[in-house]
Structure 1
């Protein structure tokens, strides 16, 4: 696995935001979401007061969650789950990305980004998961991941976590997300350790291994992976805290 397969950068991954970067939708102007009031998107395009955006982010997150919980229409459920896929990430980011992680819109934003990130990096993440969890563990049981996972398993897990948030126990979905992210962070740490060991061999004049050979600067790559892993751990904590708040009826 290339060290660049899982995206990290100081600009897109930091402790104040989810530990994964949103995938580009390829569209500079996303289409209007069918799940959002057209008047809302018009107001957003014209500029809104930050406090008004905050109020709207909370209201829209609650409305979206309530609508799915109270519907029997599978098409509505599917549209909500694939909201980012079909409507673009920008319009959702406008509403939810600046929300605190201990809020409902902030947590929903992280869940949507997690699904997008898992889909985009499914092959790399499957490899990291196999490194970190070669056998079934409590983390795998909580996350609901078959061990060893394939790339398709990663996508299915991503879909089931987000689906569970809307149609099942919201707190359980957040705990599954947290467990999955924890394993990936562990895999990144193991990968970084291997890179560092290969770099030491190369610096000592020994034969360079294939992993070190794949990078011009293995130490820099290792530092980047550890940076990403640290941010993922922060996001994992956000998910667990969100689960606790939800059970207390305090996630709004």
Structure 2
């Protein structure tokens, strides 16, 4: 089992946070929650400042609408927006937004959910690596000490739905604590791969096959550490977003 920077829905370099692969859906990616006038202009090469204004306005409008509704179907449609409509339109609106902005943080929340659900079995194992004994992270995230794949999927939905229906800053704190644990799990797995390969090398006569195996192990470990580093950056983005939200400065 591994999650690395080449996997579907993997984590990309620091400022971009999560980058999910396109869903492949044949349906037009036109979420009903977004103003059609905005969508009609997206392909027209608009000025970056106008795109930025659209991204901030759409994120604020979507969050405000769900916060003021009591219809669970509306909440569910917003949570599953990427699943049902594809990631393209949201990406065009929000993916270039800075992580210390509302659209930038919402982009990361949506992609965190997508990544968690697509890799739920691997992430459940990584949680057990990163949090072998329940700590405050378990309490903040709301995850048992030994979660299974379905626990991870439920947590993914819970974090995103909490952003829309509960305290937005608390949802960001949960997302940050979760990614911290998974990053630690990735580091633990990388160290295990390296240690196991070193043990095999020390107990055998070095030859071409062994050198190739050692190189492969080093590559896999390096990818895991790279993904862990990107996750930690995303975790810091979530923490900073929570801080800004509480100060009324996340826009």
Match of 2:209 in 1: none
Alignment of 1:30-179 (within 5 A): 30-179=28-177
Residues 1:8 and 2:29 aligned together: no
Decide whether aligned partners of structure 1 residues 109 and 38 sit closer, same or farther in structure 2, where only a CA change above 3 A counts.
Answer: same
- Superposed displacement of residue 80, structure 1: 0.8
- Superposed displacement of residue 205, structure 1: 3.8
4+ residue runs of structure 1 moved beyond 6 angstroms? 213-216
Aligned length: 245
Out of 22-31 and 104-113, give the one that drifted further.
Answer: 22-31
Match of 2:238 in 1: 239
Out of 8-17 and 32-41, give the one that drifted further.
Answer: 8-17
- Superposed displacement of residue 24, structure 1: 3.0
Give me the whole-angstrom Cα distance separating, in 2, the residues matched to 1:30 and 1:131. Answer: 40
Superimposed CA distance per residue, residues 144-199 of structure 1 (whole angstroms, 9 cap, x where no aligned partner): 11121000000000000000000000000000000000000000010010011112
Decide whether aligned partners of structure 1 residues 113 and 237 sit closer, same or farther in structure 2, where only a CA change above 3 A counts.
Answer: same
Residues 1:24 and 2:22 aligned together: yes
Q: What is the TM-score with the length of structure 2 in the denominator?
A: 0.91
Root-mean-square deviation over aligned CA pairs = 2.3
- Superposed displacement of residue 28, structure 1: 6.7
Which runs of 5 or more structure 2 residues have no equivalent in the other structure? 206-211
Alpha-carbon contact 2:137-2:178 (below 8 Å) kept: yes
1:217 aligns to what SS in structure 2?
helix
Which runs of 5 or more structure 1 residues have no equivalent in the other structure? 208-212
Match of 1:218 in 2: 217
Decide whether aligned partners of structure 1 residues 137 and 75 sit closer, same or farther in structure 2, where only a CA change above 3 A counts.
Answer: same
- Superposed displacement of residue 29, structure 1: 6.6
Give me the whole-angstrom Cα distance separating, in 1, the residues matched to 2:22 and 2:4. Answer: 12
